[in-house]
Every structure is written in structure tokens, then in C-alpha cells.
Structure 1
Amino acid sequence: MFLSLRSDLAAADPGQNRTYCSLSGRVTTPEGTPVPEAIVQLSGPLLPPRTATSDADGRFTIVDLPPGTFSVTVSRDGFSPVTGSVRLVPEANTASATFTLRPAATDSVTVSASDKDIAEAQIHLAEQQRIAGILPNFFVSYIWRATPLTSGQKFRLALKNAADPGNLILVGTVAGVQQATNSFPGYSQGWKGYGRRYGADLGNLVSGTFIGGAILPSVFHQDPRYFYKGTGSTSSRFWYAVSRTVVTRGDKGRPQPNYSTMLGDMSAGALSNLYYAPEDRQGAKVTIANGLLGIAGDAMNNVFQEFVLKKLTTNNKRNTLQP
């Protein structure tokens, strides 16, 4: 019976009578450009998957296929895959098909930092600027087109500057010199007198920094920083530095009268009358005169910033987009 079964099978399906088909085709883009190295996979219920790879002209061929209906998937990196079906019939030994692959759709995501985040990064750089590695030089920007600061950032920078150990040491040194020269004699001598001088000088630092560097710049929407120029002739840089005491950059980038510096110097001088010894307090005329001297001092400081202090300042990152 076993031999008879083999004989029946051989008679029913002799190899020489089996019909084979082939599938040929081409893979292109919608514009007709051939797509090489595309994977063409053909599969069916009773057929293990058969694959072919398109050549440089996008052409492929799969041979030795039985008749029937098969699923076809065409894919390639960078393109969206396509699927379809093909019917192979004994009457036509070779079937042909063209498959069109389209570039895969990609999601374009643009990530951009907000102005506040950019300004925060610039403040971080400024907070590393120190003269001789000791004294803070936070209110100078070596980035010409720096992003404007928010009011909160102006106050934070002012607080950082006023509370910096380098400035506190400087205040102590100034108070010591005043003690030695008996400046402001109303404070007398001894540790008590030194403490009063230190407190008054610290008050000057805090009031000047916050009024001229945070409060008024927030009210008038002005940038409290000095923007280092660094290019041009010596005279143009000198007059630029001097002019920054009366002209400053607004938060929208346009020049404005520097109300923050001018009124800040006057206000800080007037405020000091609240904590100086009665015999050392100044009248209105002296306060105004000292305010004008403060403005002149700011001009000299700007000149030093432009020509001297950059060389002594650590971490002075400068942007190449200068005027």
C-alpha cells in the first residue's frame, strides 16, 4: 500500500507537468526615478515568502512561482512601504508590475528657546565675570546683541551683585580707609564707628545697585548693563563709553535717555541721608552735586570697562556680532 501511494502521488504530480510563473517589475518614485535596493516580498497561503532586491534601474524578478494570487510588499529605507496583490495564471508565465514608492513623511520639529531662557544663559555667563578673579563685573555684557532682561532677572542680577563676597570685602576695605582718615566724623572711632561706616557704605552699595540696576530699569524698561563695544577708533570707543551715562539701550533695543543711571545716582545720594550721622547728612544742593559727581564717576567707569577692565576680567565671553 505504501508503494501504491507513492505511485499515485507521482502520477498525480509529475515534476515535468508542473507549471511555473515569474513576476518581473520596476520600482520608481512618483517622478519616475528608479529606486534601487528596494525589497520586494511576495507571499501567499501556501508559499513561503520570496524576496528580490531591485537593481540600479529599479528592476526586479522573482522566478519559480506557482500560479495563484499573492500579496506583494515593497519597501526601502526613507520611503513609505506599499502593498498590493498580483495574480499569476498558467496561461501567462510572466507577470509584470510597477510599484511607486513615495518618500516617507517626516515630522519636522523646531525647538527654540524663549527670550527669557536665552537671557538666563547670558546672565549665567555674566555671573562668572570677575575683575582679577575677585570683584564681580556682572553688569557688563560682552555680547553686543544680548537678549533684554526681564524685571525679575534685573532684580536677581542686582541681588547677586550686592551680596557677592567680593563686593562685601570691598565695602569693608572702603570703610577701613574712611576710619583711618576719619571720614564722616559723626560715626566716631573704634569698632562701633567702623561698623557704622561699614553699614553706611553697604547701604550705598545696595541702594545704588537696586535703584540704578533693577528698580528704575524695570520702570523705564531699560537695560542696566554696559555693552562693551571693543571695535572702532579709540576716540569713537571713548565717546561711546562716556555717552552711555546719558544714553542707554531700551528693552526693545532702541536707544533711550539713561533715566536709570541719572536718576539712580541722585536717588541713592538722597536716600543716604536717612542713615548717615546727622552731622554728616547733606543738603539738597550737596546731594545734587554728589549725584552729578556720581554720573561723572559712571562715565569714568565705562571708559575703564571699554579699555582696561576687559583685560582683567575672567570669563569675558564675547560675541562676534559686534557693531
Structure 2
Amino acid sequence: MGSDDSQRRHSKLLSLIVVGAALLGASASPGQAQSPNGAPAASLPQAPEPQGTAIISGSVTDTQQAIIPGAKVTLEDVATKVTRTIESDSTGAFRFESIAPGQYVVHVAAVNFAPWKIRDVIVLHEGENFAMPVVELGVEEINTTVNAITQEDLAEQQITAEMHQRILGVLPNFYVIYEPHAAPLTRKQKFKLAARVSTDPLTFMTTGITAGIETAQGGFSDYGEGVPGYLKRYGAAYGDRLSSTMLGAALFPSLLHQDPRYFYRGHGRIVTRALYAISTTVICKGDNGKWQPNVSNVAGNLGAAFISSTYYPRDQRHSVQVTVDNTLIGVATGAIGTLFQEFLLKHVTHGVPPKPLP
């Protein structure tokens, strides 16, 4: 009995060992990793292994045939949209292997180059070795924002250049434009140019010379002599210039939309140029680019003449008829100035802008 019980115990123990071994074998089947506590670890997603024997190869250069290493080349399966990406090597070459039969497109991208995509779908068959044409990448398009220059900006550039024009490098010659198709001035720019002329140091200097000559000759005797008389003459002379400039070159041109500048012609026969220069005292270019009666010039001279009657000595003031006559004479005298501008002063004016290229 004792031996039989011992054998039965041994048989049961052996059976338990066999069953336990079987269970352990089932729980640790191949392909399942075990975590330290015995539980199976979660499997990580793996990219599908390439299946097939086809090959696609090629090389990447720029449009000058210089190799481009490090370009990212992507192979895309048209049907499944699955992609594979590699980089071109130091020689610009790339090679996809173990490709399954199917339809594919290739994309290429590189830093500082425009992206590239093959135009035609590649149809691969089993075992095919497809050699792509050389991929030539163009330079990446540079997107820049270009701020178009406005008419006002252009006019500002032009009057800035004009304010550097000086006869013999000294006397202001700001009211001559050598660009035949100059941009029209805004109201602000017309007053800006008039103020610049009126406050130029040479304007004050030449006014002082005029007042000095009048004092020396005893003109406008009611003003008296000495420094007080000189200062009164200086004020009257400067008042004439200021009112004439502000009215004829700023106020009326702004109200009437006319350009107060002399547009230099510089070509054609002498007679044609002379007639043009003289005519600009009675015609001018409007802000719309068309020629029209120069009302601004005439009205400016006339207005300045009437204003001057408020500060000249009483016995030196003129009647309305004389004022009008003097205004017309002043307009005629202006024609002499435009003739000088057309034929002489450009050649002795410093700061004239260079002729623009055609």
C-alpha cells in the first residue's frame, strides 16, 4: 500500500509538472514579448516591410547640373498613398529597392529649391529596374511684397531733386522741371515748394541787395534813410516776393489745379523752343497733364500788386489801371525769364537730374 500511494503521488506530481509546462509554453508563444511582471508587452507599430523586387533610382541636380546632396526624395504609392522617403547621397543619387509592382509618383524637395514632382505616373512591374531622368530643381521662388510708388511719392522725389538746382551753384532754380512727364504736385507740395523758395537764404540775401540799392538811390523816399529806411525797403521788397510766390505758385495753382513750374523742352528748332518758352507765361500744364490758360500766373501777379498797395508809401501807390498795366508788363517780363530757362540757365545750373535712361 505504501508503495502504491507513493507511486500515485509521483504520477500526480508529474502530471502537474507537464500541465504547468504546457501552460507556460502557451503563454510565452513566439512573437509576444514578456513584461517583467509576466504580462505581454504592447507591440509597437512597424512600417510594412517592402515586398517586391522592383527598383527606382535617379539623381538630383539644379538647373546648372550641380549635384544636390541631402534632397528628400519621396516615393508614393498611388493606390494606397503609402510613402517612403530617403535622401540623395553625396553624389546627388538616390535608390529605392524592394518595391512591389504598382503605380508610383516621386516627389523631391531640397532647401532653397522649388519642390518637384514627376509629371507622369511610374508603372512598375515585378523585377523592373526603373532609372528616372535626372531631376533638376529650380531655385525657390522668392515672394516679396512690392509697394508700388504712388504719384504723390514720385512728385515728392521730383521736387526734392528740384530743390537742389542752383544757378552757378548759388541762386535757387527750384521752379524748373526737366522731366517732361513729371507727376502733378499735391496742394501740400505746391505750398512746400513755395515756402522753400521764400525762406531760402539766397532769397533773403538778394532781397537785402535790392533794398540796399533802393536805399542808396533814395527810392521810396517816404521810407526815410539809414537803417530804419533800409529795413522798410527790405520789408516791402520781401513782401513783393513772398506774396507773388505764395499767390502765383501755391494758392491759385492749388485752387485751379495748375502746375506752377516751367517744363523745360530742350529739343526742336530754336524758333519752336522760343515760342514755347514765351507761351508758358500765358499757358501752363494742368494737374490733369493738359495745357490750359495760365490763370494762376496772371492772378498771382495781379494779387501781389494789390497787396503791395497796403505797405508802399501813399505817394508811390498806383491806381487800379496802373496796377493792371504793371501786372501785364510783369507777365511780359516773365517771358524773358522763360527764354533764359530754355536756352541758357540749364547749362549753368548745378544739381540738374541726369537724363533718365530710355
TM-score past 0.5 threshold: yes
Q: Pairwise mapping of residues 182-261 of structure 1 onto structure 2 (< 5 A)?
A: 182-261=218-297
Residue of structure 2 in register with 1:94 after alignment: 128
Provide the residue aligned with 1:3 in structure 2. none
Confirm or deny that 1:51 pairs with 2:88. yes
Distance 1:132 1:257 in 2: 32
Q: Going by fraction, where is strand more abundant, 1 or 2?
A: 1
Q: Deviations over 1:172-229 (max 9, x none)?
A: 0000111111111111211111000000001001000000000000011000000111
Report deviation, 1:51: 3.3
Once residues 126 and 185 of structure 1 are traced to their aligned partners in structure 2, the CA distance between those partners, rounded to angstroms, is 39
C-alpha deviation, 1:108, in angstroms: 6.9
Q: Does 1:148 align with 2:188?
A: no
2:303 counterpart (254, 257, 267):
267
Deviations along 1:246-294, one digit per CA (max 9) or x if unpaired, are 0100001100000011111111111100111222211112111110111
Size of the aligned set, in residue pairs, is 288
Could you give the per-residue CA deviations for residues 81-102 of structure 1, whole angstroms, max 9, x where no partner exists? 459xx9xx9x933364979999
- Amino acid in the other structure paired with 2:311: Y
Q: Does 1:302 align with 2:338?
A: yes
Q: Unpaired segments of 5 or more residues in structure 2? A: 1-50, 60-64, 76-83
Q: Which has the larger radius of gyration?
A: 2
Query: Any conservation in 1 of the 2:53–2:100 contact (CA below 8 Å)?
Result: no
Q: 1:23 aligns with which of 50, 55, 58?
A: 55
Q: Which moved more, 1:183-192 or 1:145-154?
A: 183-192
Letter in 1 for 2:351: N
Report the identity percentage.
Answer: 33
- Asked if the contact 1:143/1:227 (under 8 Å) is kept, the reply is yes
Deviation of the 1:79 alpha carbon? 3.6
Q: CA RMSD in A?
A: 3.9
| Alpha-carbon spacing, 1:269–1:75, altered in 2? closer, same or farther (3 Å) | same
Counterparts of 2:298 and 2:153 in 1: how far apart (Å)?
Answer: 30
> 1:46-103: per-residue Cα shift (whole Å, max 9, x none)?
x994536999xxxx8726x3568999642366542459xx9xx9x9333649799998
Q: Which has the higher contact order (CA 8 A, sep 6+)?
A: 1
The answer as to whether partners of 2:107 and 2:115 remain within 8 angstroms in 1 is: no
SS in 2 for 1:274: coil
Task: Output the CA distance in 2 between the equivalents of 1:315 and 1:268.
Answer: 30
Deviating above 4 A after TM superposition, structure 1's stretches of 4 or more consecutive aligned residues are 35-40, 52-55, 66-73, 95-110
Structure-2 separation of matches of 1:320 and 1:74: 46
Equivalent residue, structure 2, for 1:16: none
- Hey, what does 2:157 align to over in structure 1? 121
Change (3 A) 1:67 1:241: closer
What residue number does 2:108 align with? Answer: 74
Contact 2:56–2:130, Cα closer than 8 Å, also in 1: yes
Distance 1:269 1:42 in 2: 84
Residues of 2 paired with 1:287 and 1:112: CA distance? 48
Cα shift at 1:316? 1.3
Find the aligned partners of 1:296 and 1:67 in 2 and give their Cα distance. 94
1:21: how far off? 3.7
For residues 321 and 219 of structure 1, do their structure 2 counterparts lie closer, same or farther at Cα, with a shift above 3 Å needed? farther
